[in-house]
Amino acid sequence: VQADGTDGNCVTFVLHDEDHTLGNSLRYMVMKNPDVEFCGYCITHPSESKINFRIQTRGSLPAVEPFRKGLNDLMGVCQHVLDTFE
């Protein structure tokens, strides 16, 4: 993961070797946070396997916090699905 942005409240994370599978589900999890003003992602080019994932927060909350929480929440949901399946 590579983070770009001078303001800590508005950061674009570059996720290498990822696509819509992670991008859309992570966007959903991050947008559930009421402190997040904007969250979106785009695929840079169909031949590249990386996404630009942008988060903008309200107030003084650094964008890395909802990003980290979204990843942890998504791992929890995936683990629950796996446990239920097994």
Domain boundaries, the chain: 10-85
Domain 10-85: what homologous superfamily?
RNA polymerase, RBP11-like subunit (3.30.1360.10)
Number of Cβ within a 10 Å radius of residue 57: 24
> Which pLDDT does position 59 carry in this prediction?
82
What number of residues does the chain have? Answer: 86
SS3 percent helix, strand, coil of the chain, rounded to 5, is 40, 30, 30
pTM here is: 0.87
DSSP E strands in the chain: the ranges are 2-4, 10-16, 36-43, 50-57
- 30-70, pLDDT tens digit by residue? 999 999 999 999 998 988 889 999 999 998 899 999 999 99
